[in-house]
A and B are shown apart, each in its own frame.
Chain A
Amino acid sequence: MRWRRPEPHTLAGAYVMDAVAGADRARFERHLARCQACARELRGLREATARLAGAVAADPPAAVVERALAAAARTRQLPPVTGQAAARRTRRAGRAGGAGRAPVPERGWRALLPGLSLALAAALLAAAAASGVVALRAEHRLGQAELRDQAIAQVLNAPDAVMLTARVHSGGTVTVVMSRRDRSLVVTTAGLPPLTSGRCYQLWLMGPGGDRSAGMLPAPHRGMTSPVIATGLAAGDWVGLTVEPEGGSPRPTSRPVLMLSLAA
């Protein structure tokens, strides 16, 4: 039942109803980027879905709007898209703010993990928030921790944020959300094997510019580690994870349990 070459635009209906996920979505969006007729059709179909939405309208409790108004008063707005930026628009921004626009085609591994990214990033964010690490409220602006949390939130919300996950050789998974714009990435892990005492997981950016420590993974909470942010991302970097003595090492001293390519 795979739709390959023939008539990808038959997915238009499913697409405007957000009923296309994963690789299907990426393929369709690649097609969309080249299909003027599709863009027109999507526009019309979206109007139909808006009517479907209107048909089930129901007043929310007043607090919903009150909270939205209060939040708006302290939330900075996105600037308009200029010509240059429009060309670089990524799906995240497209999804959030660009209904009816042809999305920018996806490249490289992004295309392998499409559609997942937003939902998983949302899950990641939720997990981070639940662990109390990411203060989502914009009004917190004090102290180192808040600054870091803000940096994390910024990466997760970056218009070019993309997500990838990888299995760790020794077990567990690593999830990375990366923003090239911010030259930063946020890493969380799940299910990494516990280490003997005196050993820790250390995160690295490894690339042409050498290996740079991106810090130690914090102790896991219910199997998950709270987000760690790595800045100074450079072209050609990989994400590495090694087991190091407590306190970390200036450079990796053991064979990485994970080497994840960030190349597009």
Chain B
Amino acid sequence: MGISDAGPRRGPGSAAGQAPGAGLEALLGGVARGDQAAFEAVCACAAATVFGVVRSVVRDPFQAQEVAQEVLLEVWRCASRFQPGRGSAMAWVTTIAHRRAIDRVRAEQRSAGRQLRAFSHQVAYDEVAEAVEARLDRDRVRRCLGSLTELQRESVTLAYYGGYTFREVAGLLGVPEGTVKTRMRDGLIRLRDCLGAE
């Protein structure tokens, strides 16, 4: 299920290698002023990234569609809150997307099945890693992830793509919580530097 072939169909914001979303900032300014055409362009830019990250956390494709749609609407609603000086537009959008996905997952856990999660713990990392592996079509990110230590990579992958808390990740990996915490930070710092994402 490689999606590297999905490349050409993706919006301009996903152009490989570049910091995604250049131009997205200006578009968000238009959205903040109620410009629906700008919003349409933002969707064209960001929908694939939003859907991708949401799906990776939520897993269920139908719920992922629902959440992705909510995220896009949230972008419309909150566009005036985006401040260009505080980070890139794409980071703003993906932060909303990831949080919404996490909210969905955690609300479900609470209502439905903690035990189900506990029971799936052993398979969790392999499963997440496999799914992500299959979809990591961005060579650079993959290469940078590959430059992390195994524990950093596992911690980052389980937290970001898997939607687990750092305490859960510690439990999954059988590593002290303090260690996981620092590995997540070190891992992300290394990723940031490797990607030149600043």
Contacts and interface: CB of A to CB of B under 8 A. Distances in A.
Contact of A19 (B87, B184, B192): B184
Interface stretch (A90-98, A194-202, A204-212, A232-240): A90-98
A61 to B, nearest CB: 6
A155 to B, nearest CB: 17
Interface string A49-84: 111111111111101110111011101111111000
Interface residues of A, number: 64
Contacts of A53: 49-50, 52-53, 90, 94, 97-98
Interface of A: 1, 3, 10-14, 16-21, 24, 43-61, 63-65, 67-69, 71-73, 75-81, 93, 95-101, 118-120, 122-123, 126-127
B95 interface: yes
B184 A49 contact: no
A99 B96 contact: yes
A54 B189 contact: no
A56 B182 contact: no
Contacts of B27: none
B189 A13 contact: yes
Interface in B158-186: 159-161, 163-167, 169-170, 176-178, 180-186
Nearest to B197: A47
B51 A60 contact: yes
Given A45-B192, A75-B77, A52 B161 contact: yes
Contacts of B161: 52, 56
Contacts of A21: 106, 165, 167
Given A46-B87, A57-B48, A118-B103, A19 B40 contact: no
Contacts of B90: 50, 53-54
Contacts of B43: 65, 68-69
B18 to A, nearest CB: 10
Contacts of A50: 20-21, 49, 88, 90-91, 93-95, 197
